[in-house]
Structure 1
Amino acid sequence: MIRDATPGTVSKPVCIEGVGLHSGRTVSICIRPAPVGTGIVFRRTDIKPGTGIDPLVPARWDLVVMSQLCTLIRNAQGVEISTIEHIMAAFAGCGISNALVDIDSAEIPIMDGSASAFVAAIDAAGITDQKGPARALKILKPVQVSRPGAWCRLEPATEMEIDFTIDFSDEIIGHQHMKLTITPQAFSSELARSRTFCRLSDVEAMQARGLALGGSIDNSVVVDGERVLTPGGLRWNDEPVRHKILDAVGDLYLAGAPIMGRFTGMKSGHALTSSLLKKAFGEDGTVQYLDT
């Protein structure tokens, strides 16, 4: 997961446009090069200079706040960026350690529901190796969080490994399990194109509550019992569990570095992964940053 043992950034700015999944608004983002030590930082360009409001929102585990159906970060002045999990997964998978992401709204565009558009943008910009040590977060001892019917755990390992299980009543999904060592090659071939998924009934319920206003069969896998309503069907028979791993890769990258450890998820999601990171950082002797 540590690309060429060096930090990296995009070689030049690259911009893309899409629709926010929950807002339904057209959103433009530009991924820009950033110096070593910056990390991933989002900048709200719709917040004008002179307002006294800080437009910068660093992608950090301690800035994650509770939200419905996505990962949301908020700075000390209340400025938010939501639905960051797929672009964060792309940064992790491509080995981007430092980047400034300009965005003209509060939500990252959903694109096709996967990380592929962000990976393609990074590939188009190119990646520049930066001078300095590669940072990793080593898991020193097991840590686990749970809620009724679901749990997730981090434990020591020499590489980043993810072991995920899902279980849905919909016949087209059912019980799925996948275990994968996360390398740039594995991310590109096995995860990047996997799309978010939901039940048709859930879409209707969310839109009735003012959520998923930008959701459609073009940017998510919509299922109804044993049917896939999205044109073209599934990209893999186990695309849903692959996407859950993709989400975990993005959410775990909020640790600020690739993780040397094994993540196991049992029917878990964004909120549990966030809770797991907070518990790991909050317990002495659980995690350690390494510079290699």
Structure 2
Amino acid sequence: MLNNFQTTIANEIRFKGKGIHTGLEANVILKPSESNTGIVFVRSDLSNSKKKNRIEAIAPNVSSTYFCTELSNSDGVSVLTVEHLMAALAGARIDNIEVCIDGAEVPIMDGSSIKFIELIDKTGIVNLDKQSKFIKILKPIEIVKDESVARFMPSDKSIIEAEINFEHKEIGRQNIAFEFTPKVFRDQIASARTFGFLSQAEKLNSVGYGLGVNLSNTIVLTEKNIMNYEGLNSKDEFVKHKALDICGDLMLSGYNIIGKYQSVRGGHCLNHKALTSLFKEKDSWKIVDGIDNFFDMETEKLISNTKV
């Protein structure tokens, strides 16, 4: 759906599943929402609590980026692992939605965003009565931490470039660049699954993370091989998943972004720091109204193996 208007889903969407970190099951209802309400998580299991149970999906509410993106409100009520659902909402160009969840973690599903995209496709998307708005990048913003770099650059399109480099022979150095459009996200990025290393499992479990990991929701790597019998969806599935995470993390800006985002050896922490730095530099961006034909279906493409 490529137009000037804000959107929401046509009908409620229901799903359930276990969290990859807590290992606990949660029921989720995605509800249509009005213009200018944005994306809001509602902890329905805390509806009778004295604490606020609504959490706006915006960058200032990011409370942790340790192995996932976690959001919290002023009362300390939180929801974690929001990035894959946020990526799907960004990829589907959904501006307003209420995410009612009766637990502390968004279900991991198959470890990617494709299940969310399929559910959205099934129910449909509707236009609302207000114009969509975008953040347009005006000046470069760069964050450097050790060998990791995150950078916003001006561009007339929404471009994401990512590079990763792991010593593991199944990964190595991978890079990707693409115009972030609904078609490219759905066809090339959404099915890229999360991945992890078996050697880190004990450490993660000891601090309460990774308790829901299995071969149905995670690509698991031993020292030499991939444990999943079905293998990879594509050779560059690893960097594609990093790009998926970027799409979700940047959606916490509250807008779709017109500009280029470059990530080298990045992750949730660096994505959040880059977004926070961008907002601090107020002359580096501006809010613009929806633009007719901003996304040209004929030019939607994925460019792999492009150096960042």
Which bracket does the TM-score occupy, shorter chain normalised?
over 0.9
What fraction of aligned residue pairs are identical, expressed as a percent? 33
Number of aligned positions between the proteins: 290
Distance 1:126 1:284 in 2: 36
In structure 2, give the amino acid aligned to 1:174.
Answer: G
**Structure 1: gaps (5+ residues):** none
Aligned to 1:285: 283
Distance 1:130 1:265 in 2: 33
Aligned to 1:266: 264
Is 2:19 the counterpart of 1:20? yes
Q: Equivalent of 2:231, from 215, 230, 233?
A: 233
Distance 1:218 1:231 in 2: 10
**Helix, strand or coil at the partner of 1:4:** coil
Aligned to 1:196: 194
Distance 1:93 1:3 in 2: 12
Deviation at 1:52, TM superposition (A): 2.5
Is 2:180 the counterpart of 1:182? yes
Distance 2:132 2:206 in 1: 46
Q: Could you give the per-residue CA deviations for residues 133-180 of structure 1, whole angstroms, max 9, x where no partner exists?
A: 111100110001121111100010111101110000110001001111
Deviation at 1:242, TM superposition (A): 0.3
Distance 1:201 1:191 in 2: 27
Deviation at 1:3, TM superposition (A): 3.0
Q: Could you give the per-residue CA deviations for residues 106-127 of structure 1, whole angstroms, max 9, x where no partner exists?
A: 1111110000111111112211
Q: Could you give the per-residue CA deviations for residues 254-291 of structure 1, whole angstroms, max 9, x where no partner exists?
A: 11111001000000000111011111001120111111
In structure 2, give the amino acid aligned to 1:140.
Answer: L
Distance 1:278 1:143 in 2: 10
In structure 2, give the amino acid aligned to 1:275.
Answer: K
Question: Does the 8 A contact of 1:14 with 1:124 survive in 2?
Answer: no
**Helix, strand or coil at the partner of 2:259:** strand
TM-score (norm 1): 0.97
Aligned to 1:7: 6
Give the CA RMSD over aligned residues.
1.1
Distance 2:65 2:86 in 1: 17
Equivalent residues in 2 for 1:108-119, closer than 5 Å: 108-119=106-117
Aligned to 2:149: 151
Question: Does the 8 A contact of 1:170 with 1:224 survive in 2?
Answer: no
Q: Equivalent of 1:212, from 195, 210, 216?
A: 210
Q: Could you give the per-residue CA deviations for residues 5-60 of structure 1, whole angstroms, max 9, x where no partner exists?
A: 221101010100110111000111110000001100000001033x3211100100
Distance 1:5 1:184 in 2: 15
**Structure 2: gaps (5+ residues):** 291-308
